[in-house]
């Protein structure tokens, strides 16, 4: 018989057991360190309110810290006949400590247990991703400043439009990441609230101290209402997925530009050979497969919020087993996004920039607006200047130097790198990573 926290001591149908457990054993391995942290905080609180003898706490804590080390080092296993990580942790404590191990579930349900596990897991993964976004931001800013004055054509409707620059291009994606960081901070704020103590969604008659577990686990605040705490299942995952889809949209668009700009028809950049692949039939091919895979993976991440909504969007309040499937959509987001961030930063650091793009005669007309503005500065009404330049284009007489005089904020000549960096730094500094890490470190002492 499988080991389950809800065991009712009757024989089960093996097919039903396999279907209901699904991928939980494999996916829950990622939750193991966080389930153990939640249990440490929970039993510490139980002892403080008189629901667990101090002697029992003193026996449980070393075992849990040992299990935490095993889980953190990848040595924790969920046995084939054990339903999930919660059951495995309790089973191992019971094997080692006897009946004392059976006391750790007092005042909680698997519902609030998995909620706190998921929030601790998501919080740790968001911190990791935020640091990768910050690294990519710095790389983009550095590249923008290095190639600030190197011009390339800007496009609308994929037609040559106006002069752009590599400073403008790199800087655009850096500032886009700044907006994405705002989304990540919103997701962090939703994640960083403690659901532990909400039990199955209706609280507990046990005199729990939820403020204490909030402090022990480094949460910023509580999800106060017990029903609401359970309602965050699905809502929390969707909020995180929305934030990640925002980052993915930026990174995926950059990858698409990379594919476009590295093609022979554009030829603005050259990707490192290591980031390209060949053809089985065409000896000359160097395909931007890495950027193409980044684009596809980012598109997949962008679909995750909708996948999550479709699983939970039509459920009433209370817990339903549908929510178990969320992990299958939610967990892959983090590794896929992090790998895309890493490889795109690597590509940017290694790509070669063509510095004489705009010397090609086919980009001559990109300077038509510059000519219009020159005439306007001489006192010609804008509409007359526009018609004059249009006529010169039509009859083939248009000429203009490649000198630019852009001065306004955010233009080629004034990209405000320092202001964008200050904004990004302010958002990055608003994540209370140190407080969280201090709390977890204290919990494990």
**CA distances (Å), origin 304, targets 238, 248, 308, 330, 337:** 8, 11, 6, 7, 12
Q: For residue 149, give the nearest of 290, 353, 399 by alpha carbon.
A: 353
Q: Is 206 helix (H, G, I), strand (E, B) or coil?
A: coil
- The dihedrals phi and psi of 251, each to the nearest 5 degrees, come to -70, -40
Q: How far apart are CA 212 and CA 382, in angstroms?
A: 68
Is the distance from CB of 145 to CB of 168 less than 8 angstroms?
A: no
Q: For residue 417, give the nearest of 88, 141, 170, 46 by alpha carbon.
A: 141
Instruction: Given the residues 157, 280, 401, 408, select the one marked as catalytic.
Output: 157
Q: Is 388 a catalytic site residue?
A: no
Exposed e or buried b per residue across 414-431, where buried means at least 16 C-beta atoms within 10 angstroms of its C-beta: ebebeebbebbeebbeeb
Q: How far apart are CA 107 and CA 2, in angstroms?
A: 23
Instruction: Given the residues 279, 359, 377, 430, select the one marked as catalytic.
Output: 279
Is the distance from CB of 343 to CB of 272 less than 8 angstroms?
A: no
Is the distance from CB of 276 to CB of 282 less than 8 angstroms?
A: no
* Contacts (Cβ under 8 Å, ≥6 apart) of 300: 336
Cα Rg for the chain, rounded, in angstroms?
A: 28
Q: Is 198 a catalytic site residue?
A: no
Active site residues: 157, 279
């Amino acid at each position: 018989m499988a080991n389950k926290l809800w065991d009712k001591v009757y024989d089960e149908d093996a097919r039903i057991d396999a279907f209901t457990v699904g991928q939980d054993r494999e996916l829950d391995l990622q939750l193991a360190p966080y389930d153990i942290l939640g249990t440490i905080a929970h039993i510490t609180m139980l002892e403080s309110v008189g629901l667990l003898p101090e002697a029992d706490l003193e026996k449980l804590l070393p075992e849990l810290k040992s299990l935490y080390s095993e889980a953190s080092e990848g040595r924790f296993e969920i046995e084939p006949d054990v339903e999930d990580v919660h059951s495995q942790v309790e089973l191992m404590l019971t094997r080692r400590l006897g009946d004392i191990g059976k006391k750790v579930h007092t005042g909680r349900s698997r519902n609030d247990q998995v909620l706190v596990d998921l929030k601790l897991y998501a919080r740790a993964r968001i911190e990791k991703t935020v640091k990768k976004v910050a690294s990519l931001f710095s790389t983009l800013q550095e590249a923008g400043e290095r190639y600030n004055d190197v011009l390339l054509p800007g496009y609308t409707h994929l037609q040559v439009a106006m002069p752009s620059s590599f400073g403008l291009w790199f800087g655009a994606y850096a500032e886009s990441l700044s907006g994405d960081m705002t989304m990540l901070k919103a997701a962090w704020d939703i994640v960083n609230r403690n659901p532990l103590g909400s039990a199955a969604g209706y609280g507990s008659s046990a005199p729990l101290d939820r403020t204490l577990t909030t402090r022990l686990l480094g949460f910023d605040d509580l999800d106060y209402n017990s029903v609401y705490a359970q309602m965050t299942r699905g809502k929390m995952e969707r909020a995180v997925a929305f934030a990640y889809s925002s980052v993915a949209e930026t990174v995926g668009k950059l990858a698409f530009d990379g594919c476009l700009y590295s093609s022979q028809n554009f030829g603005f950049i050259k990707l490192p050979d290591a980031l390209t692949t060949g053809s089985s039939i065409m000896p000359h091919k160097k395909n931007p497969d890495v950027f193409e895979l980044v684009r596809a993976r980012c598109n997949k991440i962008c679909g995750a919020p909708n996948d999550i909504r479709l699983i939970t969007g039509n459920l009433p309040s209370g817990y339903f087993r549908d929510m178990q499937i969320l992990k299958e959509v939610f967990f892959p987001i983090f590794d896929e996004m992090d790998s895309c961030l890493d490889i795109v930063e690597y590509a940017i650091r290694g790509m070669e920039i063509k510095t004489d793009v705009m010397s090609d005669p086919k980009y001559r007309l990109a300077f038509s607006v510059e000519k219009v503005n020159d005439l306007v500065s001489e006192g010609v009404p804008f509409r007359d200047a526009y018609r004059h330049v249009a006529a010169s284009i039509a009859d083939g007489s248009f000429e203009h130097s490649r000198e630019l005089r852009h001065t306004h904020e955010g233009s080629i000549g004034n990209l405000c790198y320092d202001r964008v960096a200050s904004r990004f730094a302010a958002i990055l500094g608003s994540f209370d990573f140190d407080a969280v890490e201090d709390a977890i470190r204290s919990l494990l002492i």
